[in-house]
Structure 1
Amino acid sequence: MRAIVDDKKLIVKVCKLYYFDGMTQAQIAKRIGVSRPIVSKMLSKAKEEKIVEIFIKDESAHTVDLELHIEKKYGIKEAIVVSKSGYGSGVLLDLLGQAAASYVSKKIGNIGSLGISWGKSVSSFVDAYPFEKNENVKVVPLIGGMGRSELDLHSNMLTLKLAQKLHTHCSYLYAPAMLKNIDTKNRLLESEDINGVLQEGNAVDMAIVGIGNPVVHSTMEEIGYLSNEDVESLRESSAIGDINSFFFDIDGVPLTHPLNDSIIGVDLESLKAIGTTIAIATGDNKTLSIHSALLGGAVDVLVTDDETAQKILDIEQK
């Protein structure tokens, strides 16, 4: 039998019958007069000796490969990688929102509550989400409001918009995202309305967040919620990223910083306890931010593009 398994010409014949003619292993075994396990061994040998090499000829094969590598490198539940294909940042963000919306739509029947952060990435998710009746899911904001500008990016607004699409109910967090006066913040947290919504946010089954870079092209700075002094202070403290406006370092560890103490929202440790936290992020300025967020353990599912994914994978871990 060993001689048969090592017969290169017979191996080639078996491969042609199996891969080109579509015959089963049992049919091939009967045709050449050997047992089915022998045919199986010959097919395995063909792969080992590179007589046969299998390629998946599909544009999604590249992104699937990136997904698998990210999942393995960071130990997260799932990575969803979208092909950038030369699209501009606006269209790409729409594609990422669609990918995240598709993922959540498939899972939403198994959850009772969904937490919504703020920002452009989260807004792209809400915009892409289909209209579907799902009255059993409550939508909850994960952070307070970000001033008076860009209201369409605020957590409360996005929460309401998604709840309307789901034909369901939601909560509202009537508080600013940041209060630098800690006494005032603590007094607000004593309010049952505010504290109650934060407790709801801590207990959601699934959360949708973005990942920001607070010191390079920061949306919080762009809309005036972080001053130049704040950004410089974060830079000096080695801030590398933020999730739900809580800042972290290169290892994904929350910063010991006054700005983190001023945030009214669900913090990074609480996000870790949520069943599934989905982060949507893209961009050269966020490569290290995403890498560090994944190291920190607050993200379970990452939605990004292939270029960003490759740059993340190229980062050497300590």
Structure 2
Amino acid sequence: MDNWTEKREMVRVAKLYYLNGLTQAEIAKKLGVSRPVISKMLQRAKDTGIVEIYIRDETVSMVELEQQLEAALRLDEVIVVPAHGSKNEELIKQQVAKAAAQYLPKWIRNKRRIGISWGTTLYHLVNEYPFERHHKMKVYPLVGGIGRHRIEIHSNQLAYEFSKKLGGSCEFLYAPAIADSMELKRQLVDSPDIRSILDEARRVELAIVGIGNPYESTMTEMGYLKDEDLRQLQEGQAVGDISSRFLDRTGKPIDTDLNHRVIGIELDELRQIPIVVGVVSGSNKLEAVWSSLRGDYFDKLIIDEYLAEALLDKAKEVSNGERG
């Protein structure tokens, strides 16, 4: 755990204990660790000067933002990654992925089946992930992963690379994310191998997914989305996508031919997975993230500071509108 992550955890624990009045046992249960771990963190917070009469740390504002978002969005946990004043979107994306790689190990502990989607953020996450030894852990792609472009960010490749980092194994879904026709999709999903992998993917214990803005997406850059597809998305009022399935503002999948040709688990099935972690950066994805939250697809969210502030403003705006 790097210095920033350690300090952030100490600040979070100190706030819960000294300001929110939780007991060490309550904090331990909330964070999924033992009480002695919390005790040691509180002592270290004092030893390093983070806790004196008040909590002193540059990450305290991030912790406050996280707690406000957890309450406003009704999520189990939100991790906000500071942007340190940077406007470099690629750098911020890498920092969000790095933070995800630092928090995921404790979330996947004791799990046997992990699901992963695809995209550039998850590619960086896998690259940053530490090597572990989970021999009984298996990684499953949640959406088709065959394509000629940017192979390194496809779900099959990410499942393979992630399984190597975990010291486990993986399965491959030998199908494209979006089939060229409904007839081809039917043929593929009816094949025993693909049907079997999709059945197993539906039963993963934790899923890691990104969120996309369909009008500024990797799918468009890679040629997956043609002009006709983008027209369909605009007509269907799509604002975002999760695992290549497109959502409207209410968080529901749009009823288009494009969505029906996706090969992967359905969004209703994603909602049934015990823990779903969303990893996303970029304020241009505000509406996409908001719609996915309205659809209740996530339990945990890892986002950058700018997006977090925009989400909180959106939540307050909606709340004030409902009261009015």
2:193 is the alignment partner of 1:196: no
Contact map agreement 2:146 2:156 (CA 8 A) in 1: no
Take 2:236 and 2:146, find their aligned partners in 1: how far apart are those partners?
23
How far 1:146 moved relative to its partner?
A: 5.2
SS at match of 2:95: helix
2:318 is the alignment partner of 1:296: no
Structure 2 unpaired stretches of 5+: 1-17, 19-52
Question: 2:162 matched to which residue of 1?
Answer: 162
Question: 1:69 matched to which residue of 2?
Answer: 68
Alignment of 1:78-89 (within 5 A): 78-87=77-86, 88-89=88-89
Question: 1:222 matched to which residue of 2?
Answer: 221
Contact map agreement 1:252 1:294 (CA 8 A) in 2: yes
Question: 2:252 matched to which residue of 1?
Answer: 253
Contact map agreement 1:211 1:281 (CA 8 A) in 2: yes
Contact map agreement 2:65 2:308 (CA 8 A) in 1: yes
How far 1:224 moved relative to its partner?
A: 0.6
Identity among equivalent positions (%) equals 40
How far 1:199 moved relative to its partner?
A: 1.0
SS at match of 1:172: coil
Contact map agreement 1:122 1:209 (CA 8 A) in 2: yes
Contact map agreement 2:146 2:174 (CA 8 A) in 1: no
How far 1:64 moved relative to its partner?
A: 0.9
SS at match of 2:225: coil
Contact map agreement 2:139 2:163 (CA 8 A) in 1: yes
Q: Report the structure number with the largest CA radius of gyration.
A: 1
Contact map agreement 1:244 1:267 (CA 8 A) in 2: no
Question: 1:171 matched to which residue of 2?
Answer: 171
Question: 2:230 matched to which residue of 1?
Answer: 231
2:145 is the alignment partner of 1:139: no
How far 1:55 moved relative to its partner?
A: 5.1
Take 1:267 and 1:63, find their aligned partners in 2: how far apart are those partners?
33
CA offset digits 1:14-39 (Å, max 9, x no partner): xxxxx9xxxxxxxxxxxxxxxxxxxx
Question: 1:15 matched to which residue of 2?
Answer: none
How far 1:57 moved relative to its partner?
A: 2.5
Kindly tell me the number of residue pairs found equivalent between the two proteins: 265
Contact map agreement 1:180 1:259 (CA 8 A) in 2: no
Question: 1:93 matched to which residue of 2?
Answer: 93
Question: 2:8 matched to which residue of 1?
Answer: none
Q: CA RMSD in A?
A: 1.5
Take 2:98 and 2:222, find their aligned partners in 1: how far apart are those partners?
25
Take 1:130 and 1:180, find their aligned partners in 2: how far apart are those partners?
37
Contact map agreement 1:147 1:225 (CA 8 A) in 2: no
Contact map agreement 1:115 1:207 (CA 8 A) in 2: yes
Question: 1:305 matched to which residue of 2?
Answer: 304
Contact map agreement 1:117 1:209 (CA 8 A) in 2: yes
